[in-house]
Structure 1
Amino acid sequence: MTISELYDKLADDGFKDFETGNLFFPAYMYVYKAEEEYHINQEIEDIKNRLHRPTNYLDVMILDIYEEFLEYLKQAKMAKTNKFEFYMQREKDKQDAVEKSLFKDAYDPKFLEYLNTKIKKHLAIEDNFQRSYVFLKGFGNAFPYIRTSRFFNNFEKYVKGYKLIMFYPGEAKEYYSLFGLLKDENLYRAIKLINE
């Protein structure tokens, strides 16, 4: 499925209703080659704008998981500062401790709730547009702290009232491979939309 075919699928009346498709876990993965990252990021914005037009009336929310993680750390209080600043100050002297804390923060229910609240606020805005999709990107930048499979396993309980489309720079064969190099666990419940 090319990126233009992905647009056609998302614009399809039978697919865009969040109550159709994979009802138990309405999550989909668009898998693409890592070297296409820049192009895919441009296409994500284009798809959002095209779906927003009056012919579709779809409001798409785009979240970059890496940027959201940084924002979460910046607003999370720690001592007299925030976690982001605290970790930056200690990274040189206590690198192992900082890395351990970042791995823990990445799956902390507070971070997942932070994302969920942001999505809910977006969905609550009243206008004439249907809300069908949340696009999630940035997993390449968030590695190794946020692993795609583990994130989905922890976040799936929050996915209600929309379809989650995750953009994955890598390969999906017997298992997911970030950048085609790093082995990740398989996501059996997410439906693959593979760029071939």
Structure 2
Amino acid sequence: MDLTARLDAMEAAIKKPSFRQSSGKANEINYWIFDYPPEKELEVRERIEYMKNKNLKDNDEYQLVVFDLYDIIINFLERKNFVEKCCDFEKKRGFGRIVKAVSNSMKVSESDSLIVRYIQENTPENAIVFLTGVGKSYPLLRSHNVLNNLQQSYLRAPVVMFFPGTYNEQELILFNEIKDDNYYRAFRLVK
């Protein structure tokens, strides 16, 4: 199935009441991954924006909420006045140290991750959550950290992570090159 057909099928799938009511692989709330060729990023972004605008106009039984993970990171850094400090720190210590410093300050690998808390606090009742910006966030944020922490914290809405790469219901391969060795309890949305 080509990407346009998969996006059409995904849009139809989330509109079904059963999508919002069924449980995930281990009886938790739904977690879905929509993988796509990385070179199709702009097409996917356009469709998500279209769906979000359409949801605002339609009388759907749910609210589509889109969280760009990269924007969450940048907003955090700006609020803390860390952006300029990060640039200086990178010059002195290197990019690897910035990744570690940002991850630590946002508690990315912990159950009380600031990203997960932000998503929880900004997700209304009867919502479907779209997570975007996975590719833009790498290597500051690894998608498995967000998924694992969301699953542990119980988010009251189905989650669809848009993933620029490949997901085979066992492993994620970012940009079809960077393999993540973590196991995921998420369904692949539209094969």
The Cα shift of 1:119 comes to 4.0
- Aligned to 1:188, the other structure's residue is in SS state coil
- Aligned to 2:23, the other structure's residue is in SS state coil
- Aligned to 2:70, the other structure's residue is in SS state helix
The Cα shift of 1:193 comes to 1.2
Give the Cα–Cα distance (whole angstroms) in 2 for the partners of residues 110 and 15 of structure 1: 26
Alignment of 1:37-186 (within 5 A): 37-76=41-80, 82-95=81-94, 96-106=96-106, 107=108, 109=110, 112-113=113-114, 115-117=116-118, 119-123=120-124, 131-173=126-168, 175-186=171-182
Which structure has more strand as a fraction of its residues?
1
| TM-score normalised per structure 1 | 0.80
Contact 2:34 2:188 in 1 (8 A): yes
- The Cα offsets for residues 104-133 of structure 1, whole Å up to 9 and x where unpaired, read as 33516597235424542451xxxxxx6221
| TM-score normalised per structure 2 | 0.82
- The Cα offsets for residues 73-99 of structure 1, whole Å up to 9 and x where unpaired, read as 2223xxxxx322211222212214333
- Aligned to 1:73, the other structure's residue is in SS state helix
| Aligned equivalent of 1:126 | none
- Aligned to 2:63, the other structure's residue is in SS state strand
Identity %: 21
Moved more, 47-56 or 62-71: 47-56
Question: Tell me, which stretches of 5 or more residues in structure 1 are unaligned?
Answer: 77-81, 124-129
C-alpha root-mean-square deviation of aligned residues, in Å? 2.4
- Aligned to 1:155, the other structure's residue is in SS state helix
Contact 1:139 1:148 in 2 (8 A): yes
> Displaced runs of 4+ in structure 1, greater than 4 A?
108-111
Contact 2:33 2:161 in 1 (8 A): yes
The Cα shift of 1:177 comes to 0.6
Give the Cα–Cα distance (whole angstroms) in 2 for the partners of residues 191 and 94 of structure 1: 39
Structure 2 letter corresponding to 1:175: E
Question: Tell me, which stretches of 5 or more residues in structure 2 are unaligned?
Answer: none
Contact 1:33 1:179 in 2 (8 A): yes
Give the Cα–Cα distance (whole angstroms) in 2 for the partners of residues 182 and 117 of structure 1: 27
- Aligned to 2:98, the other structure's residue is in SS state helix
- Aligned to 1:136, the other structure's residue is in SS state strand
The Cα shift of 1:180 comes to 0.6
The Cα shift of 1:57 comes to 3.6
Q: How many residues align?
A: 182
